Amino acid sequence: MKGTIGRLTRIFITYSVRIITLLLAVSVITFVLVSASPIDPVRQYIMGLGTAVSPEQRAEIEDYWGVNEPPVERYFGWMSELLKGNLGESALYRRPVADIIRERFLNSLALMLCAWVLSGGIGFTVGCVMGMYRGRLPDKILKKICYVISSIPTFWLGLVFLLVFAVWLKWFPIGFSGPIGVLRDEVTIWGKLYHLILPAFTLSLMSFANSALHTRQKLVDVLNSEYVLFARARGEGKWMILRRHGLRNILLPALTLQFASFAELFGGSVMAENVFSYPGLGSAVSAAGLNADVPLLLGVTLFSALFVAVGNMTANLLYGIIDPQIREEDG
């Protein structure tokens, strides 16, 4: 018992140090890139106001934001406020950055979870079908479909789906997370799910093909093994072999690949949210970058890095629970 607690403590400390180092590196790189951006945040803020501003008022805004201060001094000032739990206020939305992240994250989380489950379930099923019919017509057709889908950009696929299913067939809404003209608190769960189907399905196709092709190859390797040959000699059918020998050997690699694709899925959500006008973190960070909203951009970037890092850490811990042979060694 003591050994287990000690091991978990060491793993927790190791990952905590890694996450803190990652966040520091991400914050420095993001701040440097934002400081080198040709977009003037004060000018973008004034344009958003829609009113004329005198030179004196512009100078006051610059002093308030600390635009004329050296970048190093601005960074440490921002970091000191961050350590106090203050992420600043968004110049674009005129709201605290923490409130925007909290609100948008729930939308992005629902989108990514739906897409993650869809891509894993469909990819694993299609991969099993291709592996069981390897070299035959179903395998050839599904393999070509996977190759085509994996080579199509997410935003282009999203535009095609919008045109076909939303504009022509009118099966799904064009975008957004709820009906136009309805308050957010008045949108029902079914209404949110209805607006979530098309962007989630589009996003799921981004990693579906890789999961299917990987599962197929692993299953083919299992079916060519000696113990499967022995199972065939005993008279077991192909679907019984899949259930008894195939699934248990390909499930863990498929799960590993699925967790590894979560970071890629998070990046793909930026494209999907912009195409479907979905109010998540992806659309928020795009708007922040285009409008030079430095506090929002830094806040969303840090939170995204933290979310992906914690997800990867959780995946590594789950691997050790599922298969003790791959538990991470001490240190």
Which domains are assigned to the chain? Answer: 107-292 (1.10.3720.10)
CA distances from 143 to 243, 250, 297, 319 (A): 22, 18, 40, 29
In whole angstroms, what separates CA 88 from the centre of its chain?
24
Residue 330: predicted pLDDT: 43
Phi, psi for 96 (deg, rounded to 5): -60, 140
Residue 12: predicted pLDDT: 76
CA dist 159 and 9 (Å) reads 48
Phi, psi for 123 (deg, rounded to 5): -65, -40
Residue 331: predicted pLDDT: 43
- Burial label for 304, CB within 10 Å (0-12, 13-18, 19+), is buried
pTM: 0.79
CA dist 218 and 230 (Å) reads 19
Residue 143: predicted pLDDT: 92
Phi, psi for 261 (deg, rounded to 5): -85, -5
Q: List all residues 6 or more positions away from 138 whose beta carbon is below 8 Å from its beta carbon.
A: 129, 130
Residue 310: predicted pLDDT: 80
Tens of each residue's pLDDT in the chain, 331 residues: 555 677 667 777 888 888 889 889 998 998 888 877 777 777 777 776 667 778 888 888 777 767 778 888 888 888 888 888 888 888 778 889 999 998 888 888 888 889 989 988 999 999 999 988 988 999 999 999 999 888 888 788 888 888 898 889 888 887 766 666 666 667 777 877 888 888 888 888 877 888 899 889 888 888 888 877 877 777 777 778 787 777 878 887 787 778 777 777 877 888 888 888 888 888 888 888 877 788 888 888 888 888 888 877 776 776 666 655 555 444 4
